[in-house]
């Protein structure tokens, strides 16, 4: 009994060390928030498009799609642009953009500069669509299934690793049935 | 500038002509403390809200501010949306006010924002089985700590009380040792 008491600090240390290991593990971002919208129906939107073509949720139903919130003023969006280009040209993923709180002319300039991975781009100048999706920063990428339900959210710039390990397998699974 | 009579110039502690310390008199201390608290109180009411966001109806506005103070800004994460300058906080403030103008109850308006951003937006987490640890762990740790102290004190008391008194031989040996130590 006495002996066991001496082990208490060691046990406490191990528990603490366990918590630290959990919080410091590679790839864990404590700022990342789980989306409250997972498996819920995506909020309705029908937006004016960048090239005159409207972007509406109802028109996207029928196939799993990707919706990427971006803006010309957003630096990490430039960082993920090559990954998006690869998704669009090599993987042929239906990728749609929503230009969040932005000036359309600037967005057009950005896409002309870096390449345009989007099938269509909707304009959300006051950010209300982003608000309805629960966007709290750009870029954010949502995976919608064929019925228009949100299946996954990626916060921050998409990385090649996320695409290969999570996004593509998920799209494959959604495309199967 | 002369100090008002409530706060006389501080007398100083002098030893051999050198000032060791200034004595802060009580009225002075009270005044300093009051000023400090005043600054704190002002900080608590600091708002990031712009006048244009304010609702015309003061009762609705008061409700919106009360709800807003309980909602976390997801960009800064430790400020409420009423305090934060982030544009997201601005958007949520506007949304909240729109919902209230539409006739939502406080609970409905809060729920609409929780539905978008999850329970993380609530600065005060709800009491549910998943949050029991969060709510009760501090009190439980305190109780455990006190229990440990009580246990330890009791055991020590019995250990002292339970010790046998010295025998005459032991007593005389102890006395010799003490005497030698004194020499």
ipTM of the complex: 0.76
Q: Choose the closest CB to B116 out of A31, A127, A132.
A: A132
Taking residue B26's Cβ as centre, other Cβ atoms within 10 Å add up to 9
Whether the CB-CB separation of A32 and A155 falls below 8 Å is answered with yes
Q: What is the CATH number of domain A37-175?
A: 3.40.30.10
User: pLDDT digits over B59-110, tens only?
Assistant: 999 999 999 999 999 888 789 999 988 889 999 999 999 999 999 999 999 9
Cβ-based contacts of B74 with chain A (< 8 Å): 33, 136
User: Among A70, A34, A45, A43, which residue's Cα sits nearest to residue A133?
Assistant: A43
Of all residues in chain A, the one with the smallest CA distance to B111 is A36
Q: How far is B44 from chain A (nearest CA, A)?
A: 25
pLDDT at A54: 94
- Nearest CA-CA distance, residue B170 and chain A, Å: 29
pLDDT, tens only, A44-79:
999 999 988 999 999 999 999 999 999 999 999 999
Note the pLDDT of residue B15: 62
A37 touches B at CB < 8 Å: yes
Q: Report the pLDDT averaged over residues B33-52.
A: 71
- Whats the size of chain B, residue-wise? 183
- A8: closest CA among B74, B114, B145? B145
Angle at CA of residue A25, ends A21 and A30, nearest 5°: 100
> pLDDT value at position A157?
93
Residue A126 has pLDDT above 70, yes or no: yes
* Phi (first) and psi of residue A26, to 5 degrees: -60, 140
Region class of A21: left (phi > 0), else alpha (psi between -120 and 50), else beta = alpha
Instruction: Indicate the average pLDDT of chain A.
Output: 91
The predicted structure's pLDDT at residue A48: 95
| CA-based nearest residue in chain A for residue B72 | A136
Q: How confident is the model at residue A16 (pLDDT cuts 50, 70, 90)?
A: very high
**Residue ranges of domains in chain B:** 13-44, 51-121, 130-182
Across residues A72-93, what is the average pLDDT? 94
User: What pLDDT does A71 receive?
Assistant: 95
Q: Mind telling me how many Å the CA of B182 is from chain A's nearest CA?
A: 38
pLDDT digits (tens, 9 = 90+) for B15-33: 666 665 555 556 666 777 7
| Distant-in-sequence, close-in-space partners of A142: CB < 8 Å, separation ≥ 6 | A42, A66, A67, A68, A69, A133, A150, A152, A153, A154
Distance of CA B155 to the CA centre of its chain: 35
DSSP string, A9-69: HHHHHHHHHHHHHHHHSTT--TT----TTTTSBPPP-EE-BTTS--EEHHHHTTS-EEEEE
Check CB contact under 8 Å for B88 and A137: yes
Which element (helix H / strand E) includes A97? strand A95-100
First-last CA distance in chain B: 67
Percentage of chain A lying above the pLDDT 70 cut: 95
Identify the H or E element spanning B30: helix B26-44
Asked if B70 and B124 count as a contact pair (C-beta separation under 8 A), the reply is: yes
pLDDT of residue B131: 87
Q: Domain B51-121, CATH 1.20.1250.20 — does that match?
A: no
Residue B183: the pLDDT is 74
CB A94 within 8 A of CB A63: yes
Cβ neighbours of B176 (radius 10 Å): 10
Closest of A127, A70, A117, A124 to residue A94, by C-alpha:
A117
- Residue boundaries of the structural domains of chain A: 37-175
Across the interface, of A33, A128, A131, the residue whose CB is closest to B118 is A33
Q: How far is B92 from chain A (nearest CA, A)?
A: 8
pLDDT category at B162 given cuts 50, 70, 90 is confident
Instruction: Find the CB nearest A131 among B77, B91, B114.
Output: B91
Give the DSSP per-residue string, A123-148.
EETT-HHHHHHT--SS-EEEEE-TTS
Report whether pLDDT(A31) > 70: no
> Shortest CB distance from B116 goes to which of A36, A101, A127?
A36
Q: For residue B4, what pLDDT band results from cuts at 50, 70 and 90?
A: very low
């Amino acid at each position: 009994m006495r002996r066991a008491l001496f082990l208490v600090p060691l046990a406490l240390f191990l528990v603490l060390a366990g918590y630290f290991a959990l919080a410091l593990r590679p790839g864990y971002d404590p700022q990342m928030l789980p989306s409250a919208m997972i498996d819920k129906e995506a909020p309705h939107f029908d937006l004016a498009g960048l090239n005159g073509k409207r972007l509406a949720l109802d028109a996207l139903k029928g196939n799993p799609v990707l919706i990427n919130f971006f803006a010309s003023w957003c630096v990490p969006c430039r960082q993920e642009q090559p990954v998006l280009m690869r998704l669009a040209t090599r993987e042929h993923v239906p990728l749609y953009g929503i230009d969040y709180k932005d000036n359309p002319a600037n967005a057009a300039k950005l896409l002309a500069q870096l390449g345009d991975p989007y099938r269509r781009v909707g304009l959300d100048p006051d950010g209300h669509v982003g608000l309805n999706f629960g966007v709290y920063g750009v870029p954010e990428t949502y995976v919608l299934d064929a019925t228009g339900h949100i299946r996954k959210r990626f916060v921050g710039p998409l990385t090649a690793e996320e695409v290969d390990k999570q996004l593509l397998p998920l799209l494959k699974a959604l495309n199967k049935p | 500038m002369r100090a008002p009579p409530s706060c006389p110039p501080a007398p100083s502690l002098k030893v051999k002509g050198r000032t060791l310390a200034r004595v802060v008199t009580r009225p002075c201390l009270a005044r300093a403390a009051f000023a400090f608290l005043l600054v704190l109180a002002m900080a608590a009411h600091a708002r990031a809200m712009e006048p244009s966001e304010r609702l015309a109806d003061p009762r609705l506005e008061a409700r919106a501010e009360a709800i807003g103070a309980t909602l976390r800004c997801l960009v800064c994460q430790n400020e409420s949306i009423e305090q934060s300058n982030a544009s997201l906080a601005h958007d949520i403030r506007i949304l909240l006010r729109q919902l209230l103008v539409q006739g939502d109850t406080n609970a409905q308006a809060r729920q609409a924002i929780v539905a978008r951003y999850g329970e993380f937006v609530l600065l005060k987490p709800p009491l549910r089985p998943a949050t029991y640890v969060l709510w009760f762990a501090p009190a439980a740790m305190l109780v455990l700590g006190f229990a440990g102290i009580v246990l330890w004190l009791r055991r020590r008391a019995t250990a002292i009380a339970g010790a046998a008194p010295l025998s005459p031989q032991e007593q005389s040996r102890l006395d010799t040792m003490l005497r030698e130590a004194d020499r």
